[in-house]
Amino acid sequence: MDTSTPTPTLLPYKHVGGPESAPTGTLESFNPATNELLGNVPTITPDQVDAVVAEIYKVQPFWAELSFADRARYMRRAAKVVVDRKDEIAALITAEQGKVRTEAYAMEVMTSVDSMLWAASNASKFLSDEKIPSTQAFMKTRKMRFHYQPLGVVGVISPWNYPWLLAMAEIATVLMAGNGVVFKPASLTCMIGQKLQEVFDEAGLPEGLLRTVHGGGAVGQAIVDSPGVRKIFFTGSVEVGRGVAESCAKQLKGCTLELGGKDPMIVLSDANMPLAIDGAVWAGFSNMGQTCAGLERAYVMHDVADRFINGVVEKAKGMKIGPPNEWSSEVAAMTSPDQYELVKELVDDAVAHGATLLCGGPMDPSQLPEGQRGGKYFAPTVLTGVNHGMRIMQEEIFGPVVPIMTVDDEDEAIRLANDSQFGLGASVWSADKDKASAMADRIEAGNVWINDHMYTPGISQCSWGGVKDSGLGRSHSKFGFWEAVEIQVQAATPAREASLWLHPYDETVGPSIRATIDLLYAKGGDRFRTLAESSGALGRLTARSIRARFRK
């Protein structure tokens, strides 16, 4: 099988808007493993964002009027394009983001197709009008329903660590909800973002409904600030996310934020140890640890700690470092040189404060495969002797580092797991499902996995998001759909029915409502007593209601 590095390409850029939104420059993209130039994409300036949004609004009302079945046909065609072009897309992900080939298919391409098809199949289930039962006796003639209205134009600002899956899952949800999208990919993976636009263009999505724009953080901020953008879906750092939330709050518009994590892994004495070791290695080192829900700290019962630590170290040392486009490669360059420096800084700080480096660390270029020496490689790293006074146990690492602590009991493990400003994910490893589930109930996180870690972001029916500094709201699942709409209640009264509480207030209305409280909610004898005492007022109110039916 050919394992040579393909040359990523993009179709010639086609501008679909007016001159006020036409690109004014270019953004270059580089291969993180070789530092070679891959290509470039067109950019706009921040003051052009409002024009882009206005142009999307010319298309969005038509899209919102389509049935769910019609929207789903476009989405399924786009999913077919991804399947047909899977090799091309995976090659671009490998070349631009640096993810090894197997993970490009498994973590990005396959899961994105599933998210598109799930959105196409389930939008009508969760967003069709929903009847509200009239459970109150005095409301039995009323017809009430939830109606889910598209927001209009939604901004999707995606990260560089999962540039295809995370963007596609949110865009699929937002589009199926009837909205238009202004999409800004991360600058480090701008070509992947532009390729996503090509997929929808090839699928025949109404021209201009999805607009991909580039131009750095200033363009992203302009999307957040644009009065025409009704909501923001943002994935990124806590610092930037706080700014997004503040800007949205000033405009009284919503935002869904996924801001990273510090995921703990709790290994109990009865855990399947080979499985726990394999899980730690995969959760800690896949995608070079550049995963918001990746393993960032492990707490292991003291009686099994040596076996667990030795097993993780042995497997970490055995991971294959090689060109990311080879099927067998497991370790590749980090995507961001700045993130590489931060990971190195955190590891050095931990060692300086007493931690023991059992394996891994920054790699010298001479250790790297020929042709890969322009990248920033960090070998899978295991630390022991860490404690919560160290930065590495409090700050997000976002790199291939697993710090391990030994604990005495389950209560200590839970306390340490919750001792974090983050709350995205966590895992509990035990042969006792009931015990693990009870522990999961006590963990402060948006996602808890038992005997596995971090896989549900790729399962569309599961919600995705966290608590504390890990963000606000949820994407994916039915909750993701509800984040992409306005929820309206429509309540209908028969044309000739007068409500009991209408004016004039008198000795009929007030006493009747007072009596109704007992008739509906009191017990036994109190009901009969009230009925006897208030029969006159209730009769007069009933007669008034009947007369109202015949007024003209």
Output the pLDDT for position 387.
98
- Per DSSP, the three-state class of 39 is strand
Three-state SS for 504-523 is CCCCCHHHHHHHHHHHHHCC
| Separation CA 444–CA 418 (nearest Å) | 6
| Separation CA 445–CA 418 (nearest Å) | 8
| Separation CA 483–CA 550 (nearest Å) | 44
How do beta strands 378-384 and 356-362 pair? antiparallel
Helix (H) or strand (E) holding 115: helix 110-127
Q: Helix 110-127 to helix 68-84 angle, to the nearest 10 degrees?
A: 180
Q: Which positions are catalytic? A: 258, 292
| Separation CA 537–CA 384 (nearest Å) | 78
Domain 25-259+479-488 identical in fold to domain 263-458: no
Number of Cβ within 10 Å of residue 338's Cβ equals 11
Number of Cβ within 10 Å of residue 128's Cβ equals 12
Output the pLDDT for position 3.
47
> In the CATH scheme, what is the homologous superfamily, with its name and number, of domain 25-259+479-488?
Aldehyde Dehydrogenase; Chain A, domain 1 (3.40.605.10)
Three-state SS for 210-257 is EEECCCCHHHHHHHHHCCCEEEEEEECCHHHHHHHHHHHHHCCCEEEE
Contact between 403 and 353 (Cβ < 8 Å): no
| Residue boundaries of the structural domains of the chain | 25-259+479-488, 263-458, 496-549
Closest CA to 101 of 269, 321, 326, 266: 326
Number of Cβ within 10 Å of residue 117's Cβ equals 19
What topology does CATH give the domain 263-458? Aldehyde Dehydrogenase; Chain A, domain 2 (3.40.309)
Whole-angstrom CA distances from 484 to 56, 127, 175, 254, 457 are 16, 10, 9, 10, 18
Identity (one letter) of the amino acid at 418?
N
Closest CA to 284 of 303, 305, 261: 261
| Number of residues in the chain | 552
φ, ψ of residue 308 in degrees (nearest 5)? -65, -50
Fill in the DSSP letter of residue 326. Answer: S
Contact between 25 and 178 (Cβ < 8 Å): no
Whole-angstrom CA distances from 147 to 144, 202, 212, 250 are 10, 32, 29, 27
Q: What is the dihedral of CA 531, 533, 536, 538, to 10 degrees?
A: -40
Closest CA to 63 of 152, 161, 172: 152
Give every CB contact of residue 410 below 8 A, 6+ residues apart in sequence: 266, 268, 435, 439
| Separation CA 515–CA 528 (nearest Å) | 11
Q: What does each of the 552 residues of the chain score in pLDDT, given as a tens digit? A: 454 555 678 988 989 999 999 999 999 999 999 999 999 999 999 999 999 999 999 999 999 999 999 999 999 999 999 999 999 999 999 999 999 999 999 999 999 999 999 999 999 999 999 999 988 777 788 899 999 999 999 999 999 999 999 999 999 999 999 999 999 999 999 999 999 999 999 999 999 999 999 999 999 999 999 999 999 999 999 999 999 999 999 999 999 999 999 999 999 999 999 999 999 999 999 999 999 999 999 999 999 999 999 999 999 999 999 899 999 999 999 999 999 999 999 999 999 999 999 999 999 888 887 778 889 999 999 999 999 999 999 999 999 999 999 999 999 999 999 999 999 999 999 999 999 999 999 999 999 999 999 999 999 999 999 999 999 999 999 999 999 999 999 999 888 777 777 788 888 888 888 888 888 888 878 877 887 878 888 888 778 777 777 776
Whole-angstrom CA distances from 504 to 2, 369, 495, 499, 507 are 85, 87, 20, 12, 10
Q: Helix 190-202 to helix 86-96 angle, to the nearest 10 degrees?
A: 160
Tokens of 187: 């600058």
